[in-house]
Amino acid sequence: MSVDLSDEKFEKHREAGEILAQVREEAAERVEVGVSHLDVAEYAEERIRELGGEPAFPVNISIDEEAAHATPAPDDESEFGEEMVNLDIGVHVDGWLADTAVTVDLSGNAELAEASAEALEAAIDVVEPGVHTGEIGAEIESVIDGYGYNPVVNLSGHGLGHWEQHTEPNIPNRGVQQGVELEVGDVVAIEPFATDGGGKVSEGATEEIYALEREASVRDRGARQALEQIVEEFKTLPFARRWLETSRAEMALRRLKQKNVVHGYPVLKEEDGCLVSQKEHTVLVTEDGCEVTTRPR
């Protein structure tokens, strides 16, 4: 089956990627010791809107052993210290997505950041129609191992769908037998994570990101108001508690979780408490290789 990569949906993926490449660079430049996490997150999210997109999910700001799902609370006063900082940012244009991440190392562990960045480039180099996702994972694993670190094996890259942040296929961060072959027209986010720990993450106690599970009737006024905003603005994409306009957002989310209307994303942390670096690009599989939509043009 032939795929027309000039279709409107692919153009919107590209537009989202172009916006995201610019915002990633601008946000990364703002990460300095003493700067507020909330200021950087809100800057990036507002800049996305100024450039014609919408955030596909809340800006993730993961520190040291945190790997994913960390975003500032509404009243967050945290400031960057001499730490490893991962920025993971997403953009959508009419529901068509791009996803990217970069490590800003303020901790003095530049090689760990280089390991995930070089692993991403090695992975991109082998992307073409017919390549097995396990082969991509093997490239990632080989580079990270070469630096003397471990890939985070229970996190993976993923496909990007319409109003869906995570779809098939999964792109592993190590060589595996199971998987699929990529096809022309696949849009995938490849995201190596490298760590000086054992290479596994588990859920922490903190939760600031949520997503709609199902629509349902709710009696509580605040919960109903929050649900209306979620369905209208975010649909199935993740959102932050600080994005909700209801005055008692925490209580509203608690009620919606109790009814299995929304689910939360606990912060994921490296199990040994060790540092994690991350680098991510969105890639469109083309007939003769791939196109990286989240590189600066």
Q: For 234-287, how does the pLDDT look when each residue is reduced to its tens digit (9 = 90+)?
A: 999 999 999 999 889 999 999 999 999 999 999 999 999 999 999 999 999 999
* 207 labelled catalytic: no
* Residues counted in the chain: 297
Residues of 112-148 as b/e, b for ≥16 C-beta within 10 angstroms? bbbbbbbbbebbbebbebebbbbbbbbbbbebbeebe
Q: Average pLDDT of 23-36? A: 98
What percent of the chain has pLDDT above 70?
Answer: 100
* 125 labelled catalytic: no
Q: How far apart are CA 169 and CA 159, in angstroms?
A: 5
pLDDT score for 40: 98
* 280 labelled catalytic: yes
Res. 142: pLDDT tops 90:
yes
Catalytic residue among 105, 280, 281, 291: 280
Confirm or deny that 69 is annotated as ligand binding.
Answer: yes
pLDDT score for 247: 85
Catalytic residue among 45, 65, 88, 186: 88
Q: How confident is the model at residue 107 (pLDDT cuts 50, 70, 90)?
A: very high
Query: For the domain 208-267, what is the CATH code?
Result: 1.10.10.10
Q: How confident is the model at residue 2 (pLDDT cuts 50, 70, 90)?
A: confident
pLDDT score for 3: 87
- Helix H or strand E segment including 92: strand 84-93
pLDDT score for 126: 98
* 186 labelled catalytic: no
* 111 labelled catalytic: no
Strand partners, 151: 194
Confirm or deny that 92 is annotated as ligand binding.
Answer: no
Confirm or deny that 191 is annotated as ligand binding.
Answer: yes
Q: Summarize pLDDT for 186-228 with one digit per residue, the tens.
A: 999 999 999 999 999 999 999 999 999 999 999 999 999 999 9
pTM higher than the cut 0.75: yes
2 burial level (CB within 10 Å; 0-12, 13-18, 19+) = exposed
What are the residue ranges spanned by the domains of the chain?
8-203+273-292, 208-267
Res. 96: pLDDT tops 90:
yes
Strand partners, 98: 91
Catalytic residue among 15, 65, 83, 99: 99
Instruction: Return the biggest CA–CA distance within the chain.
Output: 56
Q: Which CATH number fits domain 8-203+273-292: 2.60.40.420, 2.120.10.10, 3.90.230.10, 2.60.40.1220?
A: 3.90.230.10
Catalytic residue among 121, 162, 166, 213: 166
Res. 48: pLDDT tops 80:
yes
Catalytic residue among 135, 141, 191, 270: 191
Q: Average pLDDT of 125-154? A: 98
Across the chain, what does the average pLDDT equal? 97
Q: Average pLDDT of 27-52? A: 98
* 191 labelled catalytic: yes
Confirm or deny that 166 is annotated as ligand binding.
Answer: yes
Q: How confident is the model at residue 1 (pLDDT cuts 50, 70, 90)?
A: low
